[in-house]
Chains A and B, each alone.
Chain A
Amino acid sequence: MKFFSLLKKELREMLNIQTVCMLVLIIFMMISMGGMMNKAAEEESEESGKITICDLDDTTFSKAVLHFLESPVAGMKNEVNVIDVTSDDYAAELKKAGVKSFVIIPEGFEKSISEGKQADIIYVSRMSSLAALSNVNAGSEVAVELIGAAVKTAIYQDKTSKGALTEAETKLLEAPLNVEEQTIVANKSANVKQILLYSSLYSRSLFMPLVVYILILLGSQTMINAVSAEKLDKTLETLLSAPVSRMHVLSAKMIAAAIVALMNAAVYMIGMNKMNMNAVIEYPDDFKKTMEDLGLTFGIKTYLLIGVQMLLTMLIALSISLILGAFAKSIKSSQTLLLPLMFVTIVPFMASMMIDVTSLPKALRYLLYVIPFTHTFIATDSIIFGKTALYIGGLIYQVLFLVVCMTVAIKIFTSDMIFTASERVGRFGKKKKAHDEN
């Protein structure tokens, strides 16, 4: 009996309305994220059956290969879209075809096979994001596999009918294709495997959003604690009754919280940069130059542009926390007030790590764009993959959002609301009558 009374009391304390609301929000978030992931998986599955190919060889064998691609494999029938590629400007050709990747069977394909040589194949793909699931070009990858299988079958049938395979022929069967991989980044192309580019950028794609997330998390907590503690200890009343400008008090708080958050971010950035995640991968000798040619190196300009976004995000988070801090009735309630902010941070954080946000359905995409932090999470992608309009648009939106937040924060801090906001919330919640104040 006593135990259950105690349990009931503890549950009442811990399972308050804010906690329940947060649980509902988390469920919503998980469903949304699940939906996004499922959609990405579905798209990948659909993509794997769509093959875009150009037959420049135009021989009996290449036509037979195209036919082979169309034939059902394990009950799955591929949709083969044959296109014309008329130039070496693969970026333009991809755009013209309206696809993310295609495969070219070049001239001399049949000839090479008949001469017992490796047959050339050109695999062109666009790299558009650093997100984990964004660079899957399933259809073209399936095509390369199937072409390889078709060539193997042809060699096997042809050679075995003429007797035993020579050592050279056996070697050819192991690797019948010479795949030249052309990767497009923005409007530039290079003969480099996309997986190598992704691997070299992987650590940055992982830790940049993480640093932004930490920056928001720590900055917000520092600020909300600073404001609510000052309010609850009444040191704020003491300070604001002294001959000191409220704007000075406000800006000192903002700058101090920003410095602390930046110090934390710097520590994390240095620490993560030192984690050599690429040590096990061997890169070609000219890889660095290829990266430079594709604009994938992080120069001062890139860091500066990302830094501007980070600064804006931090200032937005700080001003929101400052507003929320004014409504805090206790330290515990200040942490609860932070939960919605954390929610709108974690959604774009997770989404940008997994998916190229620009590839999401319109409604979902714009929903994410409304969250100002999204633009910082995708800033690296926007800068290095040439999505300039998205970067600038995001920057303008963030500036406007910051102006609104700062205006509200200044309004609260320079008016009665800094002292009365939490009382108003209390009155609203409990429907208390007048004369609530001593």
Chain B
Amino acid sequence: MANEEKAVLEVEHLSKQYKKGVYASQDVTFNVNKGEIFALIGPNGAGKTTTIRMIATLLKPTEGDAKIGGYSILTDAAKVREGLTYLPDEAGAYKNMKGRQYLQFMSEMYANSKEQAAEFVKTAEEICKLGDRLNDKIETYSRGMIRKLLLARTIMPKPLIAILDEPTSGLDIINALEIRRMIKELAAEGMSFLLSSHNMLEIEYVSDRVGIIAHGHLLETGKPSELLEKYEAQNLEEVFEMVVNNSEIL
């Protein structure tokens, strides 16, 4: 990858306009460094998913650009996709496949050789810890099991950055905790994460830096501890409330 010294993800003035004058995301700028967990926080409809979808090359931005590993989502989308993985909110998997078949299929999308694909599957098996259940059809899995499988799929090719939209939504406390720990461990090993969540307490625990987004605008970025200090707040929810209330754009 080019420009390893720079931030892994650079987002510059990214905007998405669905119809004239109505922005789902407007002038969003931030970056994510190597091994960093950056979280976009905001309520439903704030523009988190639109921003993430643009970075994941699924939607084309109306204005601005984003670069992953130095490659632009506008001009080098194929290269960008080699450096990222994406886990959508409430995503499913191919129910007719067995867990292992799904991992095999997805590994073939990322790998350049059979050996590499096998290596990816092995990594995923270790991460998801589903054991023999990987031989069962996905339709028999619980929601937590599917999320673990998908998270393992997201991590297995060891991307420059893994984009996780609401990574623990709908999970019970134990499963959610397990996934948060996993994210922290992988970040410590050098993988970068861009998370999105409306669960601000979760984000406070897991992320290195956060970006507060509301009505399509990124209003504030910083480390959770810095933000708590700056706004003299008890938690990120209070920070969010103050940031949104003080914002001129709303």
Chain A residues packing against B (C-beta within 8 Å): 233-235, 237-245, 415-416, 419-420, 434-438
Contacts and interface: CB of A to CB of B under 8 A. Distances in A.
Q: Which 5 A-B pairs have the closest CB atoms?
A: A233-B92, A434-B22, A241-B86, A234-B91, A242-B109
Contact of B49 (A235, A245, A438): A438
A437 B60 contact: no
Given A233-B91, A415-B60, A241 B45 contact: no
Given A415-B60, A416-B59, A438 B81 contact: no
From B86, B87, B90, name the one whose CB has the most chain A CB atoms within 10 angstroms: B86
Given A235-B93, A438-B44, A244 B109 contact: yes
Contacts of B177: none
Nearest to A233: B92
B82 interface: yes
B24 A241 contact: no
13 contacts: A235-B91, A237-B56, A237-B86, A237-B91, A238-B86, A241-B163, A242-B109, A243-B82, A243-B110, A434-B24, A435-B45, A436-B45, A438-B44
B22 A238 contact: no
Given A436-B45, A437-B24, 17 more contacts: A233-B94, A234-B90, A234-B92, A235-B92, A237-B88, A238-B153, A241-B84, A243-B78, A244-B109, A416-B59, A416-B60, A420-B18, A420-B59, A434-B19, A434-B23, A434-B24, A438-B48
B12 to A, nearest CB: 20
Contacts of B87: 238
A150 B165 CA distance: 90
Contacts, number: 84
B13 interface: no
From A233, A239, A245, A438, name the one whose CB has the most chain B CB atoms within 10 angstroms: A438
B57 interface: yes
B77 to A, nearest CB: 10
Interface in B202-232: 215-216
A78 B52 CA distance: 80
A105 to B, nearest CB: 72
Contacts of B56: 237, 241
A244 B22 CA distance: 31
Size category, B interface: 35 or more
Contact of B215 (A234, A240, A435, A438): A435
Nearest to A230: B94
B242 interface: no
Contact of A243 (B89, B93, B109, B153): B109
B50 interface: yes
Given A234-B88, A435-B45, A438-B49, A241 B57 contact: yes
Contacts of B57: 240-241
A437 B45 contact: yes
A245 B89 CA distance: 23
Contacts of A415: 60
A430 to B, nearest CB: 15
Interface string B42-80: 001111111001001111100000000000000000100
A237 B48 contact: no
Contacts of A416: 58-60
B106 interface: yes
A214 B59 CA distance: 36
